[in-house]
Amino acid sequence: MSGSILFLIHLIGFGIVFTVILAGWILNRRFAREKDRQIQLYVGGLMRTIGLLSPVAAVILLISGIGNIFHRYPDAMSRWYTEGWLVAKLLVFVIFLINGTIYGPRLARRRMTAAKEIAAGNPPHDAEVNFAVLNNQVTLFYVVQFVLLMGIAALSVFGTAKHVGFFG
């Protein structure tokens, strides 16, 4: 496949992951502030549906990223790790991936369980406190994911020998 098409697919992957995080953040604010419990559960369901796009985006980015490596370094396997920006980017990507596939969904599941218990009436005595703590943790999760994503984008764009080459 031509390098330009791979690169385009890579940028589409970036667009999808950016949208998932932005939409997730907006819906999360709505979820946390919603007083009507049924609407809250509905918004939680929407968040889950949008979240299902993130593994798709991760696979697109990984496959097209590997393609980019072969395109950028024709003798790829012997040279790609000599560029610091790319090694740093891959390390941040792994953290981003682990946070997004394990920690985030686990928090979201626990929060939905708490929301359902409250909506059903007769929740455990500490349900409201637990729910508020989970709300804060999910918000923090989105902030961390956004910062990591911007870090990956910055490393990609400003890396050595990239465009103006911020780092050299």
Least distance CB 55 / ligand HEM (angstroms): 12
Task: Point out which span in 34-42, 47-55, 138-146, 153-161 binds ligand HEM (CB under 6 A).
Answer: 153-161
Ramachandran angles phi, psi of 44, nearest 5°: -60, -40
32-to-29, 48, 51, 125 alpha-carbon distances in Å? 5, 15, 17, 20
Binders in 51-70 for ligand HEM, by CB under 6 A? 61-62, 65-66, 68-69
Site for ligand HEM in 22-51 (CB under 6 A): none
- For residue 85, state whether it binds ligand HEM (rule: CB under 6 A): no
Among residues 28, 50, 31, 49, which one has the least CA distance to residue 41? 31
List, in sequence order, the alpha helices (H) in 99-126: 104-119
For residue 152, state whether it binds ligand HEM (rule: CB under 6 A).
yes
Please tell me whether residue 9 binds ligand HEM under the rule CB under 6 A. no
Task: Report d(CA 153, CA 162) in Å as an integer.
Answer: 12
Rounded to whole angstroms, the Cα distance separating 58 from 13 reads 7
10 binds ligand HEM per the rule CB under 6 A: yes
Q: Does 154 bind ligand HEM (CB under 6 A)?
A: no
User: Cα–Cα distance between 107 and 45 in angstroms, integer?
Assistant: 14
Interface with ligand HEM by CB under 6 A: which residues? Answer: 10, 14, 17, 61-62, 65-66, 68-69, 71-72, 86, 93, 96, 149, 152-153, 156-157, 162-163
